[in-house]
Amino acid sequence: MVTGCQDPHRLSVLGLLLCVLSPSVAHAAKLLLVPIDGSHWLSMLGLIQQLQQRGHEIVVLAPDASVFIKEGASYTLRKYPVPFQRKEVEESFIALGRNFFENAPFLQRMVTTYKKVKKDSALLLSGCSHLLHNKDVMASLAEAGFDAVLTDPFLPCGSIVARYLALPAVYFLNALPCSMDSKATQCPSPLSYVPRILTVSSDRMSFLQRVKNALVALMENFLCDVVYSPYASLASEVLQRDMSVQELMSSASVWLLRGDFVKDYPRPIMPNMVFVGGINCLHRNPLSPEFEAYVNASGEHGIVVFSLGSMVSEIPEKKAMEIADALGKIPQTVLWRYTGSRPSNLAKNTILVKWLPQNDLLGHPKTRAFITHSGSHGIYEGICNGVPMVMLPLFGDQMDNAKRIETRGAGVTLNVLEMTSDDLANALKTVINDKSYKENIMRLSSLHKDRPVEPLDLAVFWVEFVMRHKGAPHLRPAAHDLTWYQYHSLDVIGFLLAIVLTVAFVTFKCCAFAWGKCFGKKGRVKKAHKSKVH
């Protein structure tokens, strides 16, 4: 059944009809899913559930040391052995938030981050390598007769599996580092108004911001090599031919991108890019009695929802106390997802919970504001439910997401390391009391929700499309078959320039010759004559 069948009022028309017809309309197929552990996996769950309910068989392929990827009712979990423990992965997730809050000097933090990225990358690469070299697992996958691979290409392990099994692939992602998504889809991405990730620029950049964007793009090329070259080597080895990661990824049939042009800035796209931003926020359940009671007790001031996402749940005590102090300064009841120890100064209006039904709470009419780390999930839940945001971005694309909401006047961004208790309290008061924030987020919300097909139904459609047609080669641009200089027409420009220059040169020479013939001797004769006269 289509997501939201439980609540027909919130359904798209296509969804409503699919509720009645599904799963009978779907041609049951077999899908191999190669996810990435962590928040990336969580964002895939809705789609998997939906596909299973439409009658498809889904096999999830994951390392046995996975933390978030567990057995589930919607899929068969196929684990493979890796040379590391679940504890190590867990520790790496916890370190994400801890490193961020370490108040170390800039240089020390850079070194820590570099070491962490290097260590994590090596861990993930070794996991991928172990899978690809596991003959039993790979042979059984080849025999299983899958119709397609659905994968998150943030790490290209699933991409290599798809190529190895000669199966069409659907990618499900937010964005890739080093603009690899643009490169692999041959999508033009003009530097002048498409901000590179992590630049925290909008699409309207000053001259210096455009310079920065160009420099970041230049650096990306080198970084890409460092990040992706081990996977290129692995792919070349496994597929027994030289292959870059760009070429590897270019074979994806359809790219399901968790974005849209309400959050993101409009830019060129390609026909095989499908935008499914907000894919998980249509599905809303009624609040449990516990949360219903909190909301009802909040009175006329309503509530504020506060979460730093699934990957960060503890913060240093000093920062937690600062935040607790700020939350005490507003009249709203604050529901704070926090698993750390209770700050001693926690005000009466603040309730700590180990987990909260974020989307359900944001959808409640009494919710006045949302304090978020501005991960793409949270941002879309904020947009979808029309709740103004105070954004405390931590890492990755969170700064960029915050910038996008801030430029639309629907939220305020704070630097969580530098902000004071007053800054947070003032930001909250601003987004709650200044009506423009509510108006702007409601405008974004109405634009975001007004679409011909719900994003989840669209994602299901395209996964099924690729399974039905064994790919989507008609959406693959011919650009993939050109060299870089052909793509940019440099050979054509060179050829035309050569012709123009040759013609110009020959014309000049002819003219010079003709000039010489007509006036040359005469001139000399005259000169000679003149000199004689003198």
Phi then psi for 464, rounded to 5 degrees?
Answer: -65, -40
434: its two tokens: 């200044």
Question: Which residue, 339 or 486, has its beta carbon nearer to a second copy?
Answer: 486
CA-based nearest residue to 438, from 446, 413, 378, 297: 446
Question: Which residue, 1 or 17, has its beta carbon nearer to a second copy?
Answer: 17
d(CA 405, CA 263): 7
Min dist. Cβ of residue 44 to a second copy (A): 20
Using CB under 8 A, which of 1, 5, 10, 17 touches a second copy? Answer: 17
Using CB under 8 A, which of 14, 45, 59, 96 touches a second copy? Answer: 14
- SS3 state at 77: strand
Asked if 395 is part of the footprint of a second copy (rule: CB under 8 A), the reply reads no
Using CB under 8 A, which of 117, 214, 511, 514 touches a second copy? Answer: 214
Asked if 187 is part of the footprint of a second copy (rule: CB under 8 A), the reply reads yes
Question: Interface residues for a second copy in 484-513 (CB under 8 A)?
Answer: 486-489, 491-493, 495-496
Using CB under 8 A, which of 45, 269, 321, 442 touches a second copy? Answer: 269
Asked if 477 is part of the footprint of a second copy (rule: CB under 8 A), the reply reads yes
Phi then psi for 273, rounded to 5 degrees?
Answer: -100, 125
Q: How far is CA 326 from CA 332, 369, 410, in A?
A: 12, 14, 21
Question: Which residue, 95 or 442, has its beta carbon nearer to a second copy?
Answer: 442
Asked if 458 is part of the footprint of a second copy (rule: CB under 8 A), the reply reads yes
CA-based nearest residue to 22, from 49, 46, 1, 4: 1
Question: Which residue, 141 or 187, has its beta carbon nearer to a second copy?
Answer: 187
User: Cβ distance 281 to 385 under 8 Å?
Assistant: yes
Min dist. Cβ of residue 2 to a second copy (A): 11
Helices (H), 280-337: 289-296, 317-328
* Crossing angle between the packed helical segments 157-164 and 207-239, to the nearest 10 degrees: 40
Asked if 13 is part of the footprint of a second copy (rule: CB under 8 A), the reply reads yes
Asked if 365 is part of the footprint of a second copy (rule: CB under 8 A), the reply reads no
371: its two tokens: 């304090």
Asked if 19 is part of the footprint of a second copy (rule: CB under 8 A), the reply reads no
d(CA 54, CA 463): 12
Which residues of this protein are in contact with a second copy, per CB under 8 A? Answer: 13-14, 16-18, 21, 25, 187-188, 190-193, 203-204, 207, 210-211, 214-215, 261-262, 265-272, 446-447, 450, 452-453, 457-458, 461-462, 465, 468-469, 474-479, 481-482, 486-489, 491-493, 495-496
